[in-house]
Amino acid sequence: MRKIQVEQIISAVESLCIRSNIELPQDVRIALDKALEDEASPLGREIIKDIIKNTEIAKEEYIPICQDTGFAVFFLKLGQDVQIVGGNLNDAINEGVRRGYTNGYLRKSIVTDPFLKRVNTKDNTPAIIHTEIVPGDKLTITIAPKGGGSENMSALRMLKPADGVEGIKNFVIETVDKAGSNPCPPIVVGVGVGGTIDMTTLIAKKALLRPLGEHHPQPEVAALEKELLEEINKLGIGPQGFGGTTTALAVNIETFPAHIASMPVAINIQCHVARHMEVEI
């Protein structure tokens, strides 16, 4: 058994919280640069220029790209030969979040309960933690801070197997169309198909972690990603919804085997501040 001290996890998480909110992944920057070249609307190009300038200011000033520094969502891959010592794993993640959001001057956006008092927890805890046990003796921590504006435009539908691929396409287009300017386009569209409602939504969120421009390994799924991106960009919504040809930067689809009776589809919408960062301990 390899031993990992909780202190090591806490400081890794603290740093991930701060860095992921300030440093935009390179693949997103590349996608924005390409969007600036391709965008047909002059106002849309001005907006994309400001979006890029914003990411540069964030890095120079070392302040968050967006004030909504999100719900701290974690994906952990815990090697089965790892022993956590000095405390427990979930507490360590939450302590890292507490320190990161406080010491990094990030906004605390979490309230204690959803519909009673809604009192701010003041340290952005609790985090949302998805843990997978994997072979090996490493711990991989991925953070994907998720803003409320784009999350609110996400959707789930229990389609019938007979709805087929057309049903998936219609649902995705309808969801993006309805969201319009609300989720801060250009957006990234994460789609999960298959499994049960919990798995469908989980893989839709995981789809957002895949680098933009990288497609699903299955050619039919990759083709659907490309087709949906083209169709979404014909909606006319454009940067910030002011009209244009760049409504989405990418569509990433993940699939899971389905029950003979079901074809659930989840759509997780992500704004252009498509933040995520990974560290291996």
Which CB, 43 or 134, lies closer to other proteins?
A: 43
Amino acid at 257: P
Site map 236..275 versus other proteins, x via CB under 8 A:
xxx-xxxxxx-------------------------xxx--
**Cα distance between the two ends of the chain:** 14
Query: 35: exposed, middle or buried (C-beta count within 10 Å: 0-12, 13-18, 19+)?
Result: buried
Segment 119 to 178, residues that bind other proteins, using CB under 8 A: 120, 122, 148-149, 152, 173
Tokens of 112: 């204690």
Q: Among residues 1, 26, 33, 50, which is the contact residue for other proteins, using CB under 8 A? A: 50
SS3 assignment, position 138: coil
User: Regarding beta strands 187-193 and 128-134, do their DSSP bridges make them parallel or antiparallel, or are they unpaired?
Assistant: unpaired
In angstroms, give the least distance from the CB of 271 to other proteins.
Answer: 5
User: Regarding beta strands 2-5 and 82-85, do their DSSP bridges make them parallel or antiparallel, or are they unpaired?
Assistant: parallel
Phi, psi of 56 (to 5 degrees): -70, -40
The site that binds other proteins (CB under 8 A) totals a number of residues, namely 51
Tokens of 152: 């609110």
In angstroms, give the least distance from the CB of 118 to other proteins.
Answer: 8
Q: Among residues 182, 196, 258, 281, which is the contact residue for other proteins, using CB under 8 A? A: 182
Q: Among residues 107, 157, 169, 215, which is the contact residue for other proteins, using CB under 8 A? A: 107
Query: 126: exposed, middle or buried (C-beta count within 10 Å: 0-12, 13-18, 19+)?
Result: middle
Binding of residue 40 to other proteins (CB under 8 A) = yes
Binding of residue 43 to other proteins (CB under 8 A) = yes
Q: Among residues 105, 112, 161, 227, which is the contact residue for other proteins, using CB under 8 A? A: 105
Q: Which ranges constitute the DSSP H helices of the chain?
A: 6-22, 26-38, 42-61, 89-103, 148-151, 164-179, 197-207, 219-232
In angstroms, give the least distance from the CB of 266 to other proteins.
Answer: 21
In angstroms, give the least distance from the CB of 59 to other proteins.
Answer: 9
Binding site for other proteins (CB under 8 A): 40-41, 43, 46-47, 50-51, 53-55, 57-58, 61, 63-69, 105-109, 118, 120, 122, 148-149, 152, 173, 180-182, 184, 231, 234-238, 240-245, 271-273
